[in-house]
Amino acid sequence: MGRRRWVAALLASLALPSLLVQVGNLGLVREGRRARREVALTFDDGPDPRSTPRVLDALQAAGMRATFFVLAPSARAYPGLIRRMLAEGHQVEAHAERHHHAWARTPWGAFLDPLRAVRGVAEVTGRPGRFHRPPHGAYTLATVLGQWAAGVRGAHWSLEGRDWHPAFSSARVRARLSERLVPGAVIVLHDAGPGGPTTVETLPGLLAELRERGYRSVPLSELPGAAPQRWSDLRRRAFIRLDAAFDRLGGVRFAGGRRDNLFRIARVPFPLDGVKLGDGGGLRRGAPALEFHVNNPLLVDLGPRASVLQARRSDFPVVARELQTRPELADVEAVFCLSALSPLLGLLGFENLDLPPAYTRRLQRWAGVLRFAYGSAARAQAPRLSVLSRAEFLWRYGPPLEDPPGAYTAQR
């Protein structure tokens, strides 16, 4: 019985922290809010005189700042690189004293390593540590207790470049980050170790793209909304995963292939009968149409006003470009959404029409679920059909046309 209890305790010390902290990131800082185009680039495993200076050069040239999670022995060996990081406005935090996976350590070793790493790095920087990221982002209960004893907060990430993976070239790392990038992301790369050479090659182009898309990188402590994950954050992330599963099943994808677009789109048969449009046209059930769904976490964090501005200035024009360039969308007759967002979509030129009662009841229930998931206190509007004909949508959001599509658009 004693041996069974010891085994059970050992499994609990591994499994429960792994589930809640390593997987759920409960209590860790892993991302900020998505209201501003700011991200936190973070680099692990340095400093290394062969690669870290080139990472610093790229950041300096781009005017970006980052956070370096450094190994204490390397920090002691190359204090000049640590001084350069601090002088150029970067944040320096502890990664490890010995770079071992938490599950491969004894409980005592997993407890001591954060303490030793935080103290060792602070001796070089002359500043107290705020965060600690264990190797591989791996946790046991002893790791959590060690961070508490060291007086630091665990730091994870929301976007991994996989620069360490032998199958990931610099082009593949950049493509992965480009597609998955969202405001508030904490991005993990490596300035040393197996991922160092790939990051050095990837970084100049990646930083140029960040600037082109209106992003800037800031130290983790300055990232807006970067706070320890709570139970409500786990709920929000669970619904983000549910949205992703829904998208895979329904063939829905982010407009432009980027997750920072406000809209997810899919070609579908139009679901309603006898819809008359303000430009004199009509839509029959089954007509080819482009349905869009909103990017819920981005909409919630941006708020209504900023969402309308982003939709008008950049994100609906991306949808329009897809309508004009993708062969499978060539026959689409209308662009529509079934949602409780009709007041916002009305500001963007959409016609808002009442839905059959069955649709209204079903969508009203779903709107309530989304308010619960994303913490919105406002009561949702009654769901409605928001729709524009293809010609009207392209006139509003595509390249300029010589003439408006009809008398309805002339009233815009």
Q: Is 44 a catalytic residue?
A: yes
Catalytic residue among 190, 191, 279, 293: 190
DSSP 311: I
> What is the separation, in whole angstroms, between the first and last Cα of the chain?
78
Judged on CB neighbours under 10 Å (0-12, 13-18, 19+), 38 is buried
Q: How far are the Cα atoms of 174, 190, 198, 204 from residue 201, in angstroms, in the given order?
A: 10, 12, 5, 7
In sequence order, the 6+-apart residues with CB closer than 8 A to the CB of 53 are: 81, 84
- The answer to whether 199 and 191 have CB atoms below 8 angstroms apart is yes
- Identify whether 190 is a catalytic site residue: yes
Question: What three-state secondary structure class fits 102?
Answer: helix
Catalytic residue chosen out of the listed positions 44, 191, 243, 301: 44
Find all residues with CB under 8 Å of 69, minimum gap 6, and list them.
42, 43, 44, 45, 93, 94, 95, 131, 132, 133, 155
Q: How far apart are CA 97 and CA 99, in angstroms?
A: 7
Q: At what angle do helices 357-374 and 231-250 cross, to 10 degrees?
A: 140
The tokens of 306 are what? 């900023």
Residue 135 sits at the vertex; the CA angle it makes with 201 and 152, to the nearest 5 degrees, is: 115
- Distance between CA atoms of 292 and 296, rounded to whole angstroms? 12
**Three-class SS of residue 339?**
strand
Residues annotated as catalytic (active site), given as ranges: 44, 190
